[in-house]
Amino acid sequence: MEIRQMRKRNTVIALILMIGSFALIQALIMGGVIRSYQQVTLATICINIILAVGLNLVTGFTGQFSLGHAGFMAIGAYACAIITLKNGSVAGFLLGILAGAVLATVFGILIGIPTLRLKGDYLAIATLGFAEIIRIFAQNLTITGGAAGLNGIPKFTNWPWLWAFTCLSILLVNAFIHSSHGRACIAIREDEIAAEAMGINTTKYKVMAFAIGAFFAGIGGALYASTFYILKPTTFGFMKSIDILMIVVLGGMGSITGSVIAAVVLAVITTALQSFSELRMVLYAVMLVAIMLFRPQGLMGDRELPLPSEWKNRRKKQPQSAAE
């Protein structure tokens, strides 16, 4: 088949998957099969997909190890909560999401510029430190409600909103990865020094990926605030960052479909083990170690399900591997 036909076919598949998932779940909600209890899981899945796709761009595609995703999520969540508490309309909700995402992006750039000079585990620790600082401020400022947090945040999220934001995030990140900027990011992951030698401004692209990751973390956080109508600073601790990282690692670093699948799988496991919280964490930990020992590339590696333009890559790769 021609490459162009392939791409066309894959675009169609992606569209069918997206519209199909929307229609199916909407029908299940209207038919009363998915009750409000399962809707919480559904919301968690969508929020986690948004967060994981953003982190995957930073960690999986650009190769910059961040342990501070929860910090950006906290910024988005608090910004949205504060705005919707003042203005409880749909306009306020959308403004809150926008404000949360933009504020998180600004922090992403501010934090990214100094820390992205660091490499590997130093970067991980520095981002962790920043996330902890953000959490400690959330815990002590009056505007964020201190240690008690904020509650009574108006709830706007429902399935259509969550679906729209999730699809939008996936499509935007996918488009970014397949743009020349995205290619530059992947080049940095593969070999930073070689990428620099090829004329790629590594700092610029690393900060760009970091800022985009923070942007989506902001959106995820804002949706979180609106879904659970209560925010506590302890929610956004180190554990939350690990939760998101876990999704990225399990799905495969550098695979968006992997992140989506892992977000669904983990949410289902979490819901099933709801009543054994400690055992759930033990299982989580064992799973994390086992994945690293036996399948460090995660479920999907860096492959994708047939999404647009992915086939093109695989075609390109084949002659290369034959040459090796």
Partner 1 sequence: MDQFLQQVVNGLSLGSIYALIALGYTMVYGIIKLINFAHGDIYMLGAYIGFAAVTIGGLGFFPALIAAMVLCALIGILTERIAYKPLRNSPRITLLITAIGISFFMEYAMMYFVGANVRAFPDVLPKTQYRLGSVVINLQQIAIIVTTIVLMVVLQFIVHKTKIGKAMRAVSADRDAAELMGIKVDQTISATFAIGSALAGAAGVLVGIFYNSINPLMGMMPGLKAFVAAVFGGIGIIPGAMIGGISIGVIETMVSGYGSSMYKDAVVFAILILVLIFKPSGLLGKNVREKV
Q: Note the residues at the interface with partner 1 (CB under 8 A).
A: 65, 114-115, 117-118, 120-122, 124-126, 128-130, 132-133, 136-137, 139-140, 193, 238, 242, 245, 249, 278-279, 281-282, 284-289, 292-293, 296
CB of 15 or CB of 121, closer to partner 1: 121
Q: How far is the CB of 227 from partner 1 (least distance, A)?
A: 25
**81: which residues sit within 8 A by CB, 6+ positions away?**
96, 150, 153, 225, 226, 231
Q: How far is the CB of 243 from partner 1 (least distance, A)?
A: 11
* DSSP string computed for 262-275: HHHHHHHHHHHTTT
Q: How far is the CB of 306 from partner 1 (least distance, A)?
A: 28
Instruction: Assess contact for 200 and 180: CB atoms under 8 A.
Output: no
Q: Which long-range contacts (CB under 8 A, 24 or more apart) does 14-22 make?
A: 14/307, 14/308, 18/167, 21/163, 22/159, 22/160, 22/163
CB of 121 or CB of 314, closer to partner 1: 121
CB of 35 or CB of 117, closer to partner 1: 117
CB of 66 or CB of 174, closer to partner 1: 66
Q: How far is the CB of 15 from partner 1 (least distance, A)?
A: 35
Q: How far is the CB of 319 from partner 1 (least distance, A)?
A: 27
CB of 214 or CB of 242, closer to partner 1: 242
CB of 7 or CB of 243, closer to partner 1: 243
CB of 22 or CB of 238, closer to partner 1: 238
What is d(CA 31, CA 89) in angstroms, rounded to the nearest whole number?
28
Q: How far is the CB of 135 from partner 1 (least distance, A)?
A: 9
Q: How far is the CB of 41 from partner 1 (least distance, A)?
A: 22
Q: Which long-range contacts (CB under 8 A, 24 or more apart) does 161-167 make?
A: 161/223, 162/42, 162/43, 162/46, 162/47, 162/223, 162/227, 163/21, 163/22, 163/25, 163/46, 165/46, 165/50, 165/97, 165/219, 165/223, 166/46, 166/49, 166/50, 167/18
What is d(CA 17, CA 81) in angstroms, rounded to the nearest whole number?
32
The four Cα atoms 93, 97, 103, 109 give a dihedral, to 10 degrees, of -170
CB of 38 or CB of 139, closer to partner 1: 139
What sign does the CA torsion over 55, 57, 61, 63 have? negative
Query: Residue 16 is encoded by which pair of tokens?
Result: 């069918």
Q: How far is the CB of 242 from partner 1 (least distance, A)?
A: 6
Separation in Å, CA 279 to CA 1, 145, 175, 269: 50, 32, 39, 12
